């Protein structure tokens, strides 16, 4: 089996799909791994390190892709590169399949078995493969560090001869993987942290990290079978906004993390709520890439609204690319090694396996994913 790892084409991407140590694992299993020259340059990994791990180098991207049995990437591929792939090639990356009809059509026409890393099920067995969670954890950390850098205050309470400095107040909306890491990071820095989530079940996790949990009676809410927050009704969103407006006005930093997979992010912070915040306050909209939780946030921009800074960067984990790569590489390794035949070194997709059922989008020229069909 030949595994090809091309360089990422997105101009802002600094992560890479796989580290040399994980490349070496597959080489020892008998796979041939070929990487594009300069693959690791963005994170200080030389071509020689990949060669020492057993990989071969390619300076011909077209030949690299057209001869591959498996292609590993981070981001979705350009449409013209899908045409280069052999029928039956397994392609693994983020795909955003619910919003990329042309991409899925191209995979179907090429006969490629496309695996979407976003659709790895949130089960105990698949946890080690769940790249959305691993990257979200780093993004939660980065969101707090960014806010701390922009804030005109220190985080911890300080008792000094010149007087007492009150701790920074941080309000985090959404206590999923990103939100919990943001809570933990803000607490480590000494902030006073409060959090809200539509799922009452996460209150215990918030409290365990030393934060307070804001309770808002939304009626029936909760989470999906995959562990995501259920989408709220318009009335529930209005109740939530009214209750959170006062909390936002009291906070130095507000971090929003609310996203619904495959759909536009819910609008949580209105312009009226932003205008009620004190000048110098910071909002980090972690959902800006899917439409944004904050009215006025802009993709990959920092926007000043009457002294309130709204930060909206699409890919926060990319700001710590070495560790983000380490985690994504491990996720890929765990996913592939689950289905690789240790004798032949070939990948065998078990179409009855629950993980494969969840993340395999196209196969044999047909849409395989039931969720995508629906």
Instruction: Report domain 2-119+321-361's class.
Output: alpha beta
Helix 321-339 with 20-28: angle, nearest 10 deg: 20
Q: Is the pLDDT of residue 259 over 90?
A: no
Q: Which stretches of 197-256 are DSSP H helices?
A: 203-208, 234-250
What percentage of the chain reaches a pLDDT higher than 70?
97
Whether residue 40 contacts residue 10, with contact meaning beta carbons closer than 8 Å, is answered with no
Q: Is the pLDDT of residue 89 over 80?
A: yes
More confident residue, 171 or 234: 171
Catalytic status, residue 241: no
Catalytic status, residue 133: yes
Catalytic status, residue 228: yes
Tell me the pLDDT tens digit for each residue of 284-318. Answer: 999 999 999 999 999 999 999 999 999 999 999 99
**Residue among 207, 234, 205, 203 at smallest CA distance from 216:** 203
* Residue 159, number of CB atoms within 10 A of its CB: 8
Report the pLDDT value the prediction gives residue 230, as an integer from 0 to 100. Answer: 66
Query: N- to C-terminal Cα distance for the chain?
Result: 33
Catalytic position from the list 7, 93, 116, 130: 130
Residues of the chain with CATH 3.40.50.720: 2-119+321-361, 139-319
Chain centre to alpha carbon of residue 302: 20
Name the phi and psi angles at 282, rounded to 5: -125, 140
Report the pLDDT value the prediction gives residue 353, as an integer from 0 to 100. Answer: 94
Catalytic status, residue 236: no
Catalytic position from the list 113, 133, 137, 221: 133
Tell me the pLDDT tens digit for each residue of 204-244. Answer: 999 999 999 998 887 766 555 555 566 777 788 788 788 88
Q: Is the pLDDT of residue 108 over 60?
A: yes
Whether residue 53 contacts residue 20, with contact meaning beta carbons closer than 8 Å, is answered with yes
- CA torsion through residues 232, 233, 236, 242, sign: positive
pTM over 0.85: yes
Catalytic position from the list 66, 127, 250, 337: 127
Instruction: Report domain 139-319's class.
Output: alpha beta
Q: d(Cα 243, Cα 24) in Å, to the nearest integer?
A: 53
Catalytic status, residue 350: no
Report the pLDDT value the prediction gives residue 225, as an integer from 0 to 100. Answer: 58
Q: d(Cα 157, Cα 17) in Å, to the nearest integer?
A: 41
């Amino acid at each position: 089996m030949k595994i090809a790892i091309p360089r990422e084409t997105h101009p802002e991407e600094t992560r890479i799909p796989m580290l040399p140590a994980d490349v070496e694992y597959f080489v020892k299993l008998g796979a041939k791994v070929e990487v594009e020259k300069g693959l690791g340059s963005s994170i200080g990994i030389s071509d020689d390190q990949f060669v020492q791990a057993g990989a071969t180098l390619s300076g011909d991207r077209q030949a690299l892709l057209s001869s591959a049995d498996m292609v590993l990437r981070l981001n979705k591929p350009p449409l013209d590169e899908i045409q280069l792939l052999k029928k039956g090639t397994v392609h693994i990356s983020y795909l955003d399949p619910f919003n990329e009809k042309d991409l899925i059509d191209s995979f179907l026409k090429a006969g490629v078995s496309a695996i979407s890393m976003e659709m790895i099920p949130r089960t105990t067995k698949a946890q080690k493969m769940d790249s959305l969670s691993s990257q979200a954890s780093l993004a939660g950390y980065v969101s707090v560090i960014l806010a701390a850098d922009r804030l005109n205050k220190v985080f911890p309470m300080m008792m000094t001869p010149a007087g007492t400095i009150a701790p920074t107040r941080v309000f985090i909306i959404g206590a999923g993987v990103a939100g919990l890491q943001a809570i933990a990071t803000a607490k480590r820095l000494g902030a006073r942290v409060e959090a809200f989530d539509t799922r009452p079940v996460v209150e215990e996790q918030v409290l365990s990290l030393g934060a307070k949990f804001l309770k808002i009676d939304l009626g029936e809410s909760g989470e999906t079978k995959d562990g995501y927050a259920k989408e709220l009704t318009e009335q529930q969103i209005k109740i939530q906004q009214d209750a959170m407006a006062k909390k936002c006005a009291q906070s130095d930093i507000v971090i929003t993390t609310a996203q619904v997979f495959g759909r536009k992010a819910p609008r949580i912070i209105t312009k009226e709520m932003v205008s009620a915040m004190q000048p110098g306050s910071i909002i980090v909209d972690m959902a800006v890439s899917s439409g944004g939780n904050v009215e006025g946030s802009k993709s990959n921009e920092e926007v000043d609204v009457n002294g309130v800074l709204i930060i909206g960067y699409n890919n926060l984990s990319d700001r710590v690319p070495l560790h983000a790569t380490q985690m994504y590489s491990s996720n890929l390794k765990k996913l592939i090694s689950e289905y690789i035949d240790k004798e032949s070194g070939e990948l065998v997709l078990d179409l009855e396996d629950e993980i494969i059922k969840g993340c395999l989008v196209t196969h044999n020229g047909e849409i395989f994913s039931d969720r995508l069909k629906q």
